[in-house]
Copies of this chain bind each other. A is one copy, B any other.
Amino acid sequence: MIIVMKPGIPAEEELRVKSLMEGKGFQIHESRGANFTLFGVVGDTAAFDMNQLRVYDCIDKVMRVQEPYKRANRMFHPEDSIVDVCGVKVGGKQITVMAGPCSVETREQIIGVAEDVKQMGAAILRGGAFKPRTSPYSFQGLQETGLDLLKEAKAVTGLPIITEIMSADKIERFVEDVDVIQVGARNMQNFELLKELGKTDKPILLKRGLSATIEEWLMSAEYIMAGGNDNVILCERGIRTFENYTRNTLDLSAIPAVKKLSHLPVVVDPSHAAGMWWMVEPLAKAAVAVGADGLIIEVHNDPEHALCDGAQSLKPERFGRLMQDLKIIAGAVGREL
């Protein structure tokens, strides 16, 4: 951490800041320039809230040198992490595709789609039971019944299942019946939920918040990991910008960035980012090309009658063709699919 003192500060003010920091066990290295004096603060500053220093009038700026996350930080864990989902590895050489409908609607629908996507190469079945909807008047998902149907689809196809959790009081049921617990973008900073998920050992898919920086996203992963659960899969799903032709702006540069900063696997959700099915295919290809460890794609056998987000769902045939194309791109970047 670096403390930049304002110019012309009396010596006693400087001393006050220095003693404060030394009192907390840090060492101070000084660097005096024409206009500014810098204090390099040496020691474990990750747990120190540097905002506390901003209160001092004699301080111009406080700058952090080290990232505030530890367990999620590649510096302290140089090898890639691999998360095991009932034998499916997320994060290794293999690219993992999760596919299925936005919402679980009926037994026929979810089992039908599950069989289709399995045959086409998906390794995990997705499907929403509890749906976060902007409007209280929209369909909110089949809820508990949806979980039951997902369980049946798993029994029939053998595919592990991923579905979204929306409140901590459901954790017990999710731990029992679900293979990957998804935390949606809107709950990325629902810290109470993250803390509770940190107490389980289930794989967690943590979506990036609509306006979360990469650092905040990794800090949310850190919340789960600080509780003892290292099975975190990150998921980029688009950020909010001024552009409104697309629902969100898929930030594919976040993939190499996260790979540099962290050891956690990172997958991409092209369906929610674009909001339009015809854009899912090129974005899925780009996601594999840029280095994602997996994809989560909406597939529906009857998008016109989907209860939710039909417009961004692929039909199974298109999904099948896409999988073929993705294999070639995976090969071109040294991966398998």
Contacts and interface: CB of A to CB of B under 8 A. Distances in A.
Contacts of A53: 311
A190 B34 CA distance: 33
Nearest to A259: B282
B328 A331 contact: yes
Interface string A229-254: 00000000001111111100111111
Contacts of A47: 135, 137-138
Contact of A210 (B65, B211, B285, B329): B211
Given A134-B219, A240-B211, A289-B285, A311 B54 contact: yes
A285 B332 contact: yes
B253 A135 contact: no
Please classify the interface of chain A as helix (H, G, I), strand (E, B), loop, or mixed, using the class held by over half of its residues: mixed
A308 B308 CA distance: 42
Interface residues of A, number: 111
Interface in A270-298: 273-279, 282-283, 285-291
A244 B167 CA distance: 31
A168 interface: yes
B286 A287 contact: yes
B63 A133 contact: no
- A65, A189, A286 — which one has the most chain B CB atoms within 10 A of its CB? A286
Contacts of A274: 253
A214 B135 CA distance: 14
Contacts of A190: 186-187, 190
Interface in A1-60: 2, 4, 7, 29-36, 38, 40, 42-44, 46-47, 49, 51-56
Contacts of A306: 52, 55
Contacts of A156: none
29 contacts: A29-B30, A29-B31, A29-B38, A32-B42, A33-B65, A34-B44, A47-B135, A49-B135, A49-B139, A51-B311, A52-B306, A54-B275, A55-B310, A61-B65, A63-B63, A134-B189, A134-B216, A136-B219, A136-B226, A167-B192, A186-B190, A211-B242, A239-B241, A241-B242, A245-B257, A245-B261, A249-B251, A325-B333, A329-B332
